[in-house]
Structure 1
Amino acid sequence: MQFPDLSIETALAQQCGGTLIAGMDEVGRGALAGPVAVGVAAVDTAVAQPLEGLRDSKKLTVLQRERMAIAIPDWAATAVGLASADEIDTYGLSAALGLAGRRAWHQLVSTIGMPQGLVLDGNTMWLNAAPHDLVRALEPVDTRVMLQTKADVTCCTVSAAAITAKVARDALMIELAERFPDYGWASNKGYGSVAHRSALNTLGVTDYHRKSWNLVPEEIQPKLL
């Protein structure tokens, strides 16, 4: 198993001439219900050491992720931004991911100041897809950005960001499951399990479903304005 470290963050710090480096990742992209969530975590690479237990969040059990989510704030500054199902329907998935990322970035910068570098998971600058009218009041991404595929596997800050976002989003879906128990969100977290799809076919969508994705039969598909 590959363990993330701080080598990419340290290299970015050397390039940009500052030691405060952040990592960012998204979760919830493929869910049928609930928001997309973007996590960001920042450390001072001059003094930080890799946090024991960090892994690709998908390789951790629920309990391991929850334990790491408790430990991470003592190691890094963190923030999570959300974009709702309604925003996904209105602006599209890519724009919603960018919006959630900009909201997370705004929270982080408002707390600790502007990091000198950002490791962004993936191979596209998806932060730039955020709707301009919704991000005017948010802190700009005024820093050097490094795109890194599979960064949650190799970079400690991105791994920490992904775990933080995953645990926060899962907790929200469990809370929503108490109001909408028939969809199984406590276990499937809004993803397309058999039970979830079956409930959609019989009960239709809720306000937390991504209605533009045509999730239900045409006769009960809501008309989007």
Structure 2
Amino acid sequence: MKIRDSRLLPTFELESAEMALIPGPIAGIDEAGRGPWAGPVVAAAVILDPDNIPDGITDSKALDENGRETVYARIVATSSFAVGIADVARIDTDNILNATMWAMSHAVSQLEIAPRLALIDGNRAPKIKCATRTIVRGDAKCLSIAAASIIAKVTRDRIMRKLARDYPAYGFERHKGYGTPEHREALSRHGVTPLHRRSFRPVQYALGLIADPDNNATRATAEADLI
């Protein structure tokens, strides 16, 4: 298992401090897939067992694909977790931010154990039936959020690899719907699929709905990742 950058590793310190003050389960929440031009956005909620925390949990971006799969299996075997999946129709209807909040809320609602507190990556919290705390770069600081980042990322990557079999010309199994040169070329050659987010500027450009004088494709991806 390869860890790309181990300079900052998440810990269980925040969860331990919270549970010492007020007992009760604490969930970490994170998402995968806000920035891509195609496919769903996936959120995960994870409640780690304080007495059985698996090895290797870190920010999903710090692990390679094999490493994520290995740690995913450990989390699934020892923790309470659930996912929420907002499809392309919801993203285009509600916008990517609201779709992400819905996916997070749905993930929490599917947990077998109701958390008393949810720790959420980023600076926005979904509407859920427990206390919340947002943590910027939480996946690099908080072990429960890091675990959720792995569950969300692996779940979404598996979805995109499966969808790639239906649309083999687009390379979804490689770029997972993100705005790579390969993806841009596929859009130009083969057009827009039902998997593409029509509310995103690069897809609108591919449909001929807008002009692209300022490299909107690159800018749209950056803007989506910052939401």
Taking structure 1 as the reference length, the TM-score comes to 0.85
Deviation at residue 44 of structure 1 after TM alignment: 4.5
The corresponding residue for 2:82 is 79
Deviation at residue 124 of structure 1 after TM alignment: 2.0
The corresponding residue for 1:133 is none
Q: 1:191 aligns with which of 168, 175, 178?
A: 178
Q: Encode CA deviations 1:36-76: one digit per residue, 9 max, x unaligned.
A: 0101101354xx35432111110101000000111102221
Instruction: Report the Cα distance in structure 2 between the residues aligned to 1:142 and 1:161, rounded to whole angstroms.
Output: 18
Q: Encode CA deviations 1:9-62: one digit per residue, 9 max, x unaligned.
A: 1222244x22311100011010010000101101354xx354321111101010
The corresponding residue for 2:19 is 13
CA contact (8 A) 1:200 1:215 kept: no
Deviation at residue 216 of structure 1 after TM alignment: 4.3
The corresponding residue for 1:30 is 35
Instruction: Report the Cα distance in structure 2 between the residues aligned to 1:33 and 1:219, rounded to whole angstroms.
Output: 13
Identity of matched residues, %: 35
Residue type at the aligned position of 1:71 = R
Q: Where does structure 1 differ by over 2 angstroms across 4 or more consecutive aligned residues?
A: 11-15, 48-51, 214-222
Instruction: Report the Cα distance in structure 2 between the residues aligned to 1:201 and 1:216, rounded to whole angstroms.
Output: 10
Deviation at residue 221 of structure 1 after TM alignment: 4.1
The corresponding residue for 1:54 is 57
Deviation at residue 103 of structure 1 after TM alignment: 1.3
Asked if 1:163 is matched to 2:168, the reply is no
Provide structure 2 residue ranges, at least 5 long, that are not aligned to the other structure.
1-6, 210-227
> SS in structure 2 opposite 1:182?
coil
Deviation at residue 185 of structure 1 after TM alignment: 0.4
Aligned length: 204
Deviation at residue 150 of structure 1 after TM alignment: 1.1
Q: 2:187 aligns with which of 200, 211, 224?
A: 200
Asked if 1:124 is matched to 2:124, the reply is yes
Q: Alpha carbon RMSD of aligned pairs, Å?
A: 1.8
Provide structure 1 residue ranges, at least 5 long, that are not aligned to the other structure.
129-140
Instruction: Report the Cα distance in structure 1 between the residues aligned to 2:39 and 2:206, rounded to whole angstroms.
Output: 23
Deviation at residue 156 of structure 1 after TM alignment: 1.1
CA contact (8 A) 1:65 1:167 kept: yes
Residue type at the aligned position of 2:9 = F
Q: Encode CA deviations 1:61-120: one digit per residue, 9 max, x unaligned.
A: 100000011110222111111101111110111110011111111111xx22x1111111
Residue type at the aligned position of 2:178 = Y
The corresponding residue for 2:115 is 115
The corresponding residue for 1:88 is 91
Residue type at the aligned position of 1:123 = N
Taking structure 2 as the reference length, the TM-score comes to 0.84
